[in-house]
Amino acid sequence: MAPLVLLDLDGTLMDSAPGITASVAHAFTALGLPVPDAATLRSFVGPPITDSLPAHGVPPERLAEAVGAYRAEFRATGMWDNAVFAGIPEQLARLRAAGCELAVATSKPEVFAVPIAERFGLSALVDGVFGAPLDEQATKADVIAKALAALGRTPADGPAPGLGRVLMVGDREHDVVGARAHDIGCLGVSWGYAHPGELEAAGALAVVDDVAALENAVLSLV
């Protein structure tokens, strides 16, 4: 069974912070709430928006309104204010040439993740793009379970032997935690949006600092 590498999208394959942070700022403004500072806005990249908004001052009774404002702006402009990190396409191509199966596993709703991956040329470099439902009521572990089941690594109704060699690659602690729920190790990448020491504290197997070193780091762990 070929090694399977699950790849986070935001902060791992793509620099999506500009569009996400602008859409979050728009949502706070639309609700008449103080817009968080730049560092706080950056922390919205990665986790589900339904977790981040209430964690940073949106009252529970206004969460649906805030999510609606965010998504309207994100659909209109934010999702395209995005770029693949330099060198990522080449690294993915090298991993596939080395015999790895690749898939995107992201907390971003799949209805956004799929067209983004297509628009920016990532779909042709991976074997599937898997994301959260639109209501984002799914953990990273849930998204990973969906990817594993779709790729034939485990039955859809629960864990089972036969995963083969599987590795998660991500830039935030929830990537590490979600992978661990399936007894999968996680390689952290430092060019994303984690706070200093976040990935190490979460238990990442290693942290790679340079996109050009990604292939070798992955192959050393699978």
Q: What is the pLDDT of residue 161?
A: 47
End-to-end alpha-carbon separation of the chain, Å? 12
Q: Please tell me the total number of residues recorded for the chain in this structure.
A: 222
Structure tokens at 99: 């015999």
CA distance 185 to 204: 7
Residues 221/206, Cβ–Cβ less than 8 Å: yes
Say whether pLDDT at 111 is over 70. Answer: yes
Look up residue 74 and give its two tokens: 């994100």
pLDDT in tens, 167-188: 999 999 999 999 999 999 999 9
Distance CA 179, CA 124 (A): 24
Write phi, then psi, for 16 (nearest 5 degrees): -100, 5
- What distance in Å separates the CA atoms of residue 105 and residue 27, rounded to the nearest whole number? 26
Query: With contact defined as beta carbons under 8 Å apart, do 59 and 35 qualify?
Result: no
**Do residues 38 and 200 lie in contact, with contact meaning Cβ atoms separated by under 8 Å?**
no
Instruction: Decide if domain 17-80 falls under CATH 3.30.420.10.
Output: no
Q: Which residue ranges make up each domain of the chain?
A: 4-15+83-219, 17-80
Q: What confidence category does residue 80 fall into, taking pLDDT thresholds of 50, 70 and 90?
A: very high
Note if 210 is an active site residue. Answer: no
Q: Which of 8, 10, 15, 175 is catalytic?
A: 8
- Determine the topology of domain 4-15+83-219 in CATH: Rossmann fold (3.40.50)
Above 70 in pLDDT, residue 34? yes
The lowest-confidence range among 113-127, 134-148, 170-184 is 134-148
CB 172 within 8 A of CB 10: no
Which DSSP helix (H) or strand (E) runs through 206? strand 206-208
